[in-house]
Chains A and B, each alone.
Chain A
Amino acid sequence: MTAFKTLSLAMFKGFIRDKVTLFFTFLFPLMFLVIFGLILRDVGADKTKIAVVGDGPIVSALRDSGVLELQPYDDENAAVQKVKDGDLPAALIVRGQVLDVRFAQSDQVKSATVVGIINGFVDKANVAATGQPPRFTFAAEKVEDASLKPIQFLTPGILSWGVAVSAVFGSALTLVSWRRKQVLRRIRLAPVSATSVLSSRILVSAGVALLQGAIFIGVASLPVFGLRLSGSWWLAIPLLLLGTIAFFALGMLVGAFAKTEEAASAAANIIVLPMAFMSGTFFPMDQAPAWLQAVSKVFPLRHMNDGMLDVLVRGKGIQALAVPSAILVGFALVVGFLASRVFKWEE
């Protein structure tokens, strides 16, 4: 076997046999995905609940539409008491063909919505009762808006972050440990080029990144979380690979300065953690203040996030890769060059 293949295999074995690394590569980001995914799952999703006394065609139509959640009460007083207590925004009391709505004054938006909805159903029923075709009609159609369900922005963000963490730590810790244990020196004494050693390590990181992508997207797609991928999701693959190379280069730079694994680990954390928070890993950047949005543009992770979001869930085409790819490649070249300048074989 060639040195490239054997070294890749050796490093991959080393990776999968290291439980701590496995934890931080897969489980740790997955924990964030699960926790945030579950916490934020129901935000903005709950329906308005009202009390209902009695039944009839209007109530059936309301129930079938699913616009409001109806809680049936037998006793009118009990239903009104619920509204008075502020537990429910309104109570609908049906007495044959007369519908009575009692609503709470405190939450005017909610009660106006409830009154409007019930009014609409009553009007529709009245029109139908006349037997005349309606003079005015309207059609409603869904529009994909820019705002996303939490899991839709969490998955691309946490995936980019997870890939960045494992590439930075993977390269920095390997470099420091090999230098400290004199494996670097041993390699230098063998007739093997630095390129094949470096490229085999990058290959392992790239494989890990693809594995992370498959696992995180797989988990987020479970019904509990409900991630829905766009048709252009596969464009995330080149982005994952470019991201790996960019953050691998960053790890090489960190590893060149750090003398021990502990120092490398601390330095990598100091760089990656703030970058993750300011790049939209845990919340969408369009909700961030303007200054933070501006600052975040300096981080490669921000652009990787944007690209991931565009291709994984927003369904944008290959043109969405242009800016993130250019920035990741540029970052990799600049940082990789710096890393090669400060690289040391020996302590």
Chain B
Amino acid sequence: MTEERSAVVVRDVRKSYGELKAVDGVSFTVAEGEFFGILGPNGAGKTTTLEIIEGLREPDSGDVTLLGERPWPRNVKLLPRIGVQLQASSFFDKLTAREQLQTFGSLYGVNSTRADEMLELVGLTDKANEQENKLSGGQRQRLSIACALMHDPDIVFLDEPTAALDPQARRNLWDVLRAIRERGKTIVYTTHYLDEAEILCDRVAIMDEGRILALDPPAVLVRGLDAPTHVTLQKGVLSVMDASALDGVEEAHEDEVSLTISTRRPAPVLSALADRGALDGLQVRTATLEDVFLNLTGREYRA
């Protein structure tokens, strides 16, 4: 990918608050139309990185190019092309969902009729006349994303849009994010849910303590781990001894309910199991980004 067609280019950006190095030499590029995730635990430097790209903060050193322009100092030419959803749900007092959209849209000179289209996009059409404080957390989050999209920006920044949502609300939001992506927008988003990043993102940057530890498509990161695949069967389908004897099996063990087989070559193991008709309760669990994080930092992931 060439830098001309990149939506975001970040080169060796650093930012310190006193002794704390919030961002400590971060470089990456985001292609146009890409769904790019920055993930890591709280305090990893995700938000600060995002704020520097958006032009809200000046980096101590390093370069940022956003859609071919410098975001700092406040670049009015760039602002209509970027949409930002903030970490806190920031709304005007006492306005309904539709009025919030119209008001935010007016800041960009956008026709207020677009508000209904946005409500539909995020599935809040029936909440159009509800005041913002009467909405649930997930609905507020979706409204806040709709507000960021009112002026039809080319690139959207979402800071932990799924934080503090229940599982159902998170999944609803994923649909919204996918819909935005289908409209050809570039999305840069932060999260501390590794599973979510794995599902949604084209590429993820794993951040910890102000640095990027790894940057690749989630599948590449996981594969690169060379971690064993775990095949789980219902207990009693096969004995531990028989399982261990299969071609490609590294280790097998059993607990009260299931038999777990570890392998780096799952294909022959699965076909051998199929030959024996021993597929009851079959589950295959490959390594996840959580394993990648553990491998990179040497500690368990804590969101």
Complexed CA–CA distance, A188 and B76 (Å): 10
**A3, A11, A191 pick with most chain B CB within 10 angstroms:** A191
Residues of A within 8 Å of B92, CB to CB, are 10-11, 14, 183
Chain A nearest CB from B78 CB (Å) reads: 9
Select from chain B the residue with minimum beta-carbon distance to A177.
Answer: B93
Per the 8 Å Cβ criterion, residues 1-28 of A in contact with B are: 1-3, 5-7, 10-11, 13-14, 17-18
Q: Is the CB of B79 within 8 A of A6?
A: no
Known: A177-B93, A181-B88. A191 touches B76 (CB 8 A): yes
Q: Is the CB of A182 within 8 A of B87?
A: yes
Q: Is the CB of B74 within 8 A of A185?
A: no
Q: Is B84 an interface residue (CB 8 A)?
A: yes
Q: Is the CB of B79 within 8 A of A10?
A: no
Residues of B within 8 Å of A182, CB to CB, are 86-88, 90
Q: Is the CB of B87 within 8 A of A13?
A: no
Q: Is the CB of B86 within 8 A of A6?
A: no
Contact for A190 among B86, B88, B89, B107, CB less than 8 A:
B107
Q: Is B65 an interface residue (CB 8 A)?
A: no
Per the 8 Å Cβ criterion, residues 167-212 of B in contact with A are: none
Q: Is B291 an interface residue (CB 8 A)?
A: no
Chain B nearest CB from A1 CB (Å) reads: 6
Q: Is the CB of B109 within 8 A of A3?
A: yes
Q: Is the CB of B94 within 8 A of A18?
A: yes
Residues of A within 8 Å of B86, CB to CB, are 182, 185-186
Known: A186-B86, A188-B74. A7 touches B94 (CB 8 A): no
Q: Is B80 an interface residue (CB 8 A)?
A: yes
Q: Is the CB of B106 within 8 A of A2?
A: yes
Q: Is the CB of A189 within 8 A of B95?
A: no
Residues of A within 8 Å of B108, CB to CB, are 190-192
Q: Is A117 an interface residue (CB 8 A)?
A: no
Known: A1-B106, A6-B103, A7-B106. A190 touches B79 (CB 8 A): yes
Complexed CA–CA distance, A143 and B63 (Å): 80
Query: A217-234: contact bitstring with B at CB < 8 Å (1 yes, 0 no)?
Result: 000000000000000000
Residues of A within 8 Å of B32, CB to CB, are none
Majority secondary structure, A binding face: helix
Residues of B within 8 Å of A17, CB to CB, are 93-94, 131
Q: Is the CB of A188 within 8 A of B56?
A: yes
Complexed CA–CA distance, A159 and B167 (Å): 54
Q: Is A187 an interface residue (CB 8 A)?
A: yes
Q: Is the CB of A189 within 8 A of B106?
A: no
Complexed CA–CA distance, A177 and B91 (Å): 10
Per the 8 Å Cβ criterion, residues 58-105 of B in contact with A are: 74, 76, 79-80, 82, 84, 86-95, 99, 102-104
Majority secondary structure, B binding face: loop
Q: Is the CB of A3 within 8 A of B95?
A: no
Residues of B within 8 Å of A3, CB to CB, are 106-107, 109
Interface size class of A (residues with CB under 8 A): 20 to 34
Known: A1-B112, A2-B109, A6-B103. A14 touches B93 (CB 8 A): yes
Complexed CA–CA distance, A13 and B106 (Å): 15
Q: Is B54 an interface residue (CB 8 A)?
A: yes
Contact for A13 among B56, B79, B95, B109, CB less than 8 A:
B95
Residues of B within 8 Å of A191, CB to CB, are 76, 79-80, 107-108
Residues of A within 8 Å of B91, CB to CB, are 181, 183
**A11, A13, A188, A190 pick with most chain B CB within 10 angstroms:** A190
Residues of A within 8 Å of B55, CB to CB, are 189
Complexed CA–CA distance, A141 and B99 (Å): 63
Q: Is the CB of A189 within 8 A of B56?
A: yes
Q: Is the CB of A186 within 8 A of B84?
A: yes
Q: Is the CB of B84 within 8 A of A189?
A: yes
Contact for B107 among A14, A18, A192, CB less than 8 A:
A192
Q: Is the CB of A189 within 8 A of B102?
A: no
Select from chain B the residue with minimum beta-carbon distance to A9.
Answer: B103
Q: Is the CB of B94 within 8 A of A187?
A: no
Q: Is the CB of B56 within 8 A of A185?
A: yes
Residues of A within 8 Å of B107, CB to CB, are 3, 7, 187, 190-192
Chain B nearest CB from A10 CB (Å) reads: 4
Contact for B90 among A6, A185, A192, CB less than 8 A:
A185
Residues of B within 8 Å of A183, CB to CB, are 90-92
Contact for A7 among B80, B82, B87, B103, CB less than 8 A:
B103
Chain B nearest CB from A169 CB (Å) reads: 13
Complexed CA–CA distance, A273 and B89 (Å): 34
Complexed CA–CA distance, A186 and B109 (Å): 15
Select from chain A the residue with minimum beta-carbon distance to B84.
Answer: A189
Q: Is the CB of B56 within 8 A of A186?
A: no
Q: Is the CB of B80 within 8 A of A186?
A: no
Residues of A within 8 Å of B112, CB to CB, are 1, 6
Complexed CA–CA distance, A13 and B76 (Å): 28
Chain A nearest CB from B145 CB (Å) reads: 13
Per the 8 Å Cβ criterion, residues 36-72 of B in contact with A are: 54-56
Complexed CA–CA distance, A185 and B90 (Å): 9
Residues of A within 8 Å of B99, CB to CB, are 10, 13
**A3, A6, A18, A186 pick with most chain B CB within 10 angstroms:** A186
Chain B nearest CB from A16 CB (Å) reads: 9
Known: A183-B92, A191-B79. A6 touches B102 (CB 8 A): yes
12 more CB-based (< 8 A) A-B contacts, given A11-B92, A17-B94, A182-B86: A5-B106, A10-B99, A17-B93, A17-B131, A177-B93, A181-B90, A185-B56, A185-B90, A188-B74, A189-B82, A190-B107, A192-B108
6 pairs of A and B residues whose beta carbons are closest in the complex: A6-B106, A190-B107, A182-B90, A17-B94, A14-B93, A10-B103
Which residues of A are interface residues toward B (Cβ below 8 A)? 1-3, 5-7, 10-11, 13-14, 17-18, 177, 181-183, 185-192
Which residues of B are interface residues toward A (Cβ below 8 A)? 54-56, 74, 76, 79-80, 82, 84, 86-95, 99, 102-104, 106-109, 112, 131, 147
Question: Can you list 6 A-B pairs, Cβ within 8 angstroms, ordered by A?
Answer: A1-B112, A2-B106, A10-B95, A182-B90, A189-B82, A190-B79
